[in-house]
Each structure stands twice: as C-alpha cells, then as structure tokens.
Amino acid sequence: MRVLVVEDDLVLAKQLTDELALAGYVVESASNGVDGEYLGEVEVYDAVVLDLGLPQMDGITVLKKWRAAGCTMPVLILTARNAWHEKVEGIDAGADDYLAKPFHMEELLARVRALIRRAAGHASAEIRCGLVVLDTRSGRVTLDGHTLALTSHELRVLSYLMHHKGEAVSRGELIDHIYSQEFDRDSNTIEVFVARLRKKLPPGLIETIRGLGYRLTCPE
C-alpha cells in the first residue's frame, strides 16, 4: 500500500514517514502544497496524510484541486487542536477524516488503516479469503490459523490483492502500489513475487487473467 505525506514540519514529516514505513507502507512525501498537489494528481496512492497549514499552497486548496481533478484517494487531514473551522472546511472540501495535533502515532496509523480498508469496501480490521486471513493492524497473515512467513514485498502484493479480492489487478497497478517513485520498477519482479506467494497459499487462490493481470479468488 502506498501513502503520501504532505507536511512542512520536517521533524513531524520524518516521524510520519518512518512510522508508516515501519508499518509496511510505501511512503512518499512533499513539504509544500505545490509539490503535494502535483504528486497527488500524477501518482497513485492508497491514502494521503495532508497538513492544512502548508507553504506555497494551503492544504484546503490542494484538496479541492485533487477532488476537482477526479482524485478519489482517501485523505486524512491534520489540523490545529482547537481549529474546529479547519475540520469543517476540510471535510467540506473532500477530506475523509481528520486528526488534531498533537496526536498519538498509533491513532494516526489506525485511521490510515481504516481509510484504506473502507475505500476497498472492508469494514473489519481482518480481511479474509477462504482460510487466509490478513490482520491489517499487525500485517500478520495466517493460513488456517498458522502464520505465513512472507517477505516485505510478498506481503505488499498479497495485502493489495486481499484489499481488492475478486477484482482484476494489473501488473502496472501492483507496481504503482508497492514501489516508491525512486525504486527501479520491473514488472518481471511482480511475477516472481506472485510465484512465491502461490507456493505458500492454497492452489488456485491467485488467478492469472490473461492480458489483465491477477485476481484473488476466494472460495465460498
């Protein structure tokens, strides 16, 4: 899963990117509204953490431009603790949730997880596909109750497929959501990760759709 952090406080921005990366997300960041607005329009993210008090272009303007351009990724805005008007304005501009500063990092991570789950149509913190269960809180995957040993990239691929189970997911879409901009994106590596996952998962769970990509097919 890929998250964009738009925050001009460099200390807080580093804390956010570090904690999100530790939680298993691919994280990219921008320190001003202009760069953040550009990244949000040209790149694909599963969620965005957006500060409202940004230089060059404020967060409300950034958010309005994203929504006007048809960008539908869930957005969590960061507001000043007592600035209730910022919360109202942010929600009206298209934000999906808000968090007042200062905040506990665990709460931010929980809200990001919830936004990504809801955007994919999942209400529970656990996503199930037959005997396979992904706990989005811990990043732990189990098969019939036994923990699966997965590499970080295998987990990212499976997590994205689990969030979008039953849907056709292209190799390009997987590349967009598991690699950062700076990473050498090679579609062949996606095939390697899928092949490894197939050896660890029940037969037929990951289906290849010729010309489209992959689909996680869950038994009834």
Residue in 105, 98, 55, 58 with CA at minimum distance from that of residue 77: 98
**pLDDT for 131 beyond 80:** yes
Q: Which domain holds residue 72?
A: 2-119
- What are the tens digits of pLDDT across the range 149-187? 999 889 999 999 999 999 999 988 898 888 766 555 566
Question: Do 169 and 195 reside in the same domain of the chain?
Answer: yes
Do 130 and 109 lie in a common domain?
Answer: no
Q: What pairs with residue 5 in β-bridges? A: 29, 49
The whole-number pLDDT of residue 52 equals 93
Please indicate, yes or no, whether residues 21 and 83 belong to a single structural domain of this protein: yes
Question: Residue 200 is part of a domain; what is its CATH number?
Answer: 1.10.10.10
Q: Hey, is 193 helix, strand or coil?
A: helix
Q: Where residue 68 sits, what CATH number does that domain have?
A: 3.40.50.2300
Q: How many domains are there within the chain?
A: 2
> Do 17 and 91 have their domain in common?
yes
Pairing verdict, β 206-209 and 213-216: antiparallel
pLDDT tens per residue across span 7-53? 999 999 999 999 999 998 999 999 999 999 999 999 989 999 999 99
Instruction: Kindly report the length of the chain.
Output: 220
Query: Which carries the bigger pLDDT value, residue 124 or residue 73?
Result: 73
Q: Is the pLDDT of residue 100 over 70?
A: yes
40 CB-contact burial (10 Å; exposed 0-12 / middle 13-18 / buried 19+): buried
**Residues 40 and 137 reside in one and the same domain:** no
